[in-house]
Amino acid sequence: MHLGAGKFHLVGLSMGGRVARNVALAAPERVRSLVLISTHPGFDSMTPDAVKQFVQERRSYTPQRLRRILGSGASDAAYQELLDSVARIHQASYEKTLEASVSQDRAAPVEKITAPTLVVAGEEDTVYPPELAQELARRIPRAELLIFERTGHLANLEQPERFNRALFDFLGRQRSRMK
């Protein structure tokens, strides 16, 4: 029991969503609830061409390419925050993580997830289109699906107030169920 946390609520976005999904599968008794944002069930859910394009696009971020990650409703401040965040990435480490992820994260048995789950997607997500979130939510027993309009890959950055309300509402309902 690391950090004294016996059971916990787990939230993950994109690659973090895939990590959270794997934790929920590996240690279901520890996960009270799961929130998966802008992620997918494994790279087998994408065509080989889509996976190849996914990797290529991540090897060279340009300001224009980063802008396309965000949806039409994103503010200039959200875009600037994304630029600042990407500028802090150690590119060589990121590329190694990306290559390992694509080669090893193939098809997770998400049907075995037992934690109450909320799947969140942006309707304009060009990284993981909302169809992948719909498939993920369909395959996870009793999962809820929430799709944000005019939102791309980063709902928490693009629509922080709405995102936080949705997250806290979901977590509050899980807390009520535990009583």
Distance CA 42, CA 108 (A): 6
Q: Which residues pair with 31 in a beta bridge?
A: 8
End-to-end CA distance of the chain: 23
Distance CA 160, CA 74 (A): 10
Distance CA 155, CA 123 (A): 10
DSSP letter for each residue of 18-71: HHHHHHHHH-TTTEEEEEEES--S-GGGS-HHHHHHHHHHHHS--HHHHHHHS-
Name the catalytic one among 9, 40, 90, 153.
Answer: 153
Using DSSP's 3-state secondary structure scheme, residue 119 falls into strand
Distance CA 96, CA 8 (A): 29
Active site residue 9: no
Which residues are catalytic, by number? 153
